Structures are given as C-alpha cells and as structure tokens.
C-alpha cells in the first residue's frame, strides 16, 4: 500500500546562492569605496554607446572601468576599450543574463580599490536579469525612443528591479515620433517615483546632468563610508 | 529564458533536503511572485526536463503564484494591486512603489514519502542510498 505522503516545511530562497555572492560583492565594493552601476535594457537600445560616452567623459576625472556581458562576441568590449578605460568581456555562452558569480570571477585579477566607478553592462534582455542581484549600488534600465513608449508596461519586473530609467537616443525622438509624456507616464505607472533621465549618447544631450548625478552618488557613498 | 537554471536550483535544493531526511520527494511547493521574472509555464516544463534521470523524476512542482502587494502610505495599509501595469492603491488611487510582496522565488515545502516505497511511476530511478 502507498504510504501517506508527508509535508515538510523547507523555506529556501531559490536564488540564495546568487544573493550570497551578490552580498559578498557589495561588501567588497563598499570596502573598496567604489560605486558600482549596472545597466540593463533590451538588445539594441544603446547600452554600449551610452557606456562608451560615460567612460570617456568620466575617465578624465575619475578612475573608471567596465565589465560587459554578451552571449557570444567581444564586440562591445572592443567598442568600450576605445574610451581607454579598462574593460573586460564576460561571454555568457547561451546564458541570457549575468549572475553575481560571473562578476566575481571577472574581477579576480582586478582591484576595485583602484577604481572610483565600476560599470557592469548586462546582456541585452529585459526579462531574465531582473531576478539576479549583481551587488551593484545602482541599476539603470535603458529604453530607447525607437522602442515604443509601452516597454515599461510590458516589462514591469525589470523596471521594479532597477533604480533609475534612462531614455536613450533622444536625438531620434522627433523622427521616431516619440511621445515623452506617454513614456514617462508608463514608467511612473509601473514604478512610481522612479527618476528618469533623457539622453543622447550621439549628441551628448543630458549627459552632463547624468554625470553630475553619478558624481554626487559617489560623494555620498564616500561620506557614508568615512 | 533562465527557467531551466532556476529549475535545476530547485531540484538541487529538493534533493539536498531529501538526502538529509532520507525520504523521497513526491512534490515541491514553490512560491512564485508576479515580479520574480520567472514564467510559470516555462518553469514547469523546465522542471520536468531537469528531473529526468534523477531520483526526482516523476515528482510534481506545485506553484503558488503570489500577487503583488504594495503598501499605501495614505491608507496606511497593504493592498494588492489590480494590475502589474499600474502600481497604485486600488482603494484611493495613490501611486506606490513600496512592494511588500510579489518578488518571491522560494521553495516552501516538500511532499515526501518513505524511501522503501517505490512509486510505480518512477520505479526505474530509485534514489541512490548513499
């Protein structure tokens, strides 16, 4: 006869392993007094162009470096390296997102102590990265004006895993008939209070404002760490 | 599509717990938040694939979908939102990003049976006694 099945309580977070590594990373970054920013977006919304511009501009004043995730190629790392900042590619193979352990491995021969800012560009994907903490201080979600204003409504999870939204390719806004009010409204609908920046990596619009924002966040971090 | 790696983590956890308690796992109970970033259907099929050829082959994954609940400062109360596209209090309409519930991805319980009993559905993969 089939014995009675028993129910036993377990309560285990499935992503605990990732969360543990992410916490270790965050502690390590804070000890090193480096401010860590990650970027998520769909493929082609301009993460790499944006980051190249950020690295180039900030590199004049700060010690900056970047890790960039990609399924197969090293193209992004090659592009970012033009900024003269140290850049390392994390090739994920078939994996559609970065995990904390990959960041940890990529940093093995780097010293976060020697940096002011570390940027982590995730694989282009608006779904999977939302589940994985990478130990960053700030997560940016990017949407471009060519993608449609309803992206936030379609991907509420990723918007709720991020801290700041950035609307990219603003130089194309008019040609794409981009409706800023609708896009902003949609971001606020899924993530009330989320700060939003409008940027163009091509003509530099909005960059200065964003860079001062980052500089202020670094100053805050360092003040808190004193 | 990261459901397969998540399914494998679930399987690993269940196996670990089963080994400690020396039992067979018949079902895994999972809490899945609407904001977890994981798709239920994809997870269910991934789980089946992940279990193939393991002691958990034939076990069930029972998913409890957890809706998003926010805290409304105006009402001073926790409220379930009416749509994932609108994070505001369904009573007073005040927007809120203060998420109280809905990001869960948690194994909460296991349904187990004694190892001596062989489930006719998965008798070919009796657990390794080691």
The pLDDT tens digits for B77-117 are: 999 999 999 999 999 999 999 999 999 999 999 999 987 65
Helix B3-21 / helix B40-51 crossing angle, nearest 10 deg: 50
User: Hey, are the CB atoms on B35 and A3 less than 8 Å from each other?
Assistant: no
pTM across the whole model: 0.89
Convert chain A into a string of H (helix), E (strand) and C (coil): CCCCCEEEEEEEECCHHHHHHHHHHHHHHHHHCCEEEEEEECCCCCHHHHHHHHHHHHCCCCCEEEEEEECCCCHHHHHHHCCCCCEEEEECCCCCCCCHHHHHHHCCCCCHHHCCEEEEECCCCCCHHHHCCCCCCEEEEEEECCCCCCHHHHCHHHHHHCCEEEEECHHHCCCCCCCHHHHHHHHHHHCCCCCEEECCCCCCCCHHHHHHHHHHHHHHHHHHHC
Chain B residues within 8 A of A192 when measuring between CB atoms:
87-88, 95-97
User: Hey, are the CB atoms on A6 and B112 less than 8 Å from each other?
Assistant: yes
Instruction: Answer whether A194's CB lies under 8 Å from A159's CB.
Output: yes
Size of interface A-B (CB pairs under 8 A): 108
Chain B closest CA to A115's CA: distance in Å?
A: 32
The pLDDT value recorded for residue A70 is 86
Topology adopted by domain A17-216: Rossmann fold (3.40.50)
A160-176 mean pLDDT: 97
B33-59 mean pLDDT: 95
Residue with tokens 């860079």: A211
The pLDDT value recorded for residue B115 is 79
Residue A18 in this model has a pLDDT that exceeds 70 = yes
Percent of chain B at pLDDT exceeding 90: 85
> Which of A2, A4, A5 is the mutation pick for testing B, counting most B CBs within 10 A?
A5
ipTM of the complex: 0.82
Comparing CB atoms, the residue among B37, B97, B111 nearest residue A191 is: B97
Answer whether A101 touches B (CB < 8 Å).
Answer: no
Residue A126 in this model has a pLDDT that exceeds 50 = yes
Residue B130 in this model has a pLDDT that exceeds 50 = no
Chain B closest CA to A158's CA: distance in Å?
A: 8
Q: What is the mean pLDDT of chain A?
A: 93
Taking CA–CA distances from A2, the nearest residue in chain B reads B117
Provide the token pair at A219.
């100053």
Alpha helices in chain B (DSSP H): 3-21, 40-51
Chain A closest CA to B58's CA: distance in Å?
A: 15
Q: What is the CATH number of domain B3-113?
A: 3.30.2320.80
The pLDDT value recorded for residue B128 is 52
């Amino acid at each position: 006869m089939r014995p009675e099945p028993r129910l036993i309580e377990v309560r285990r977070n499935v992503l605990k392993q990732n969360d543990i590594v992410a916490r270790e990373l965050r502690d390590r970054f804070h000890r090193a007094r480096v401010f860590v920013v990650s970027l998520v977006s769909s493929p082609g919304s301009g993460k790499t162009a944006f980051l190249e511009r950020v690295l180039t501009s900030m590199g004049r004043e700060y010690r900056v470096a970047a890790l960039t995730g990609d399924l197969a190629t090293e193209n992004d790392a090659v592009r970012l390296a033009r900024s003269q900042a140290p850049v390392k590619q994390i090739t994920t193979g078939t994996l559609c997102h970065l995990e904390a352990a990959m960041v940890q491995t990529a940093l093995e021969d780097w010293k976060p102590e020697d940096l002011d800012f570390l940027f982590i560009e995730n694989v282009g994907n608006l779904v999977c990265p939302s589940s994985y903490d990478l130990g960053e201080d700030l997560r940016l979600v990017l949407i471009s004006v060519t993608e449609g204003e309803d992206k936030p409504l379609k991907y509420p999870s990723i918007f709720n895993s991020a801290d700041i939204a950035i609307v990219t390719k603003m130089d194309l806004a008019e040609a794409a008939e981009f409706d800023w009010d609708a896009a902003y409204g949609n971001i606020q609908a899924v993530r009330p209070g989320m700060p939003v920046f409008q940027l163009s990596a091509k003509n530099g619009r909005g960059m200065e404002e964003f860079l001062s924002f980052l500089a202020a966040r670094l100053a805050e971090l360092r003040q808190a760490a004193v | 599509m990261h459901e397969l790696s998540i399914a494998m983590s679930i399987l690993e956890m269940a196996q670990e717990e089963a080994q400690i308690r020396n039992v067979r796992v018949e079902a895994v109970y999972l809490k899945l938040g609407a904001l977890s970033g994981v798709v239920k259907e994809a997870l269910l099929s991934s789980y089946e694939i992940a279990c193939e050829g393991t002691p958990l082959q034939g076990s069930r994954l029972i998913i409890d979908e957890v809706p998003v609940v926010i805290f409304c400062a105006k009402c001073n109360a926790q409220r379930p939102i009416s749509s994932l596209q609108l994070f505001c209090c369904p009573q007073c309409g005040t927007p809120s990003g203060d998420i109280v519930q809905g990001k869960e991805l948690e194994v909460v319980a296991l349904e187990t049976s004694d190892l001596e009993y062989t489930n006719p559905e998965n008798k070919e993969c009796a657990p390794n006694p080691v």
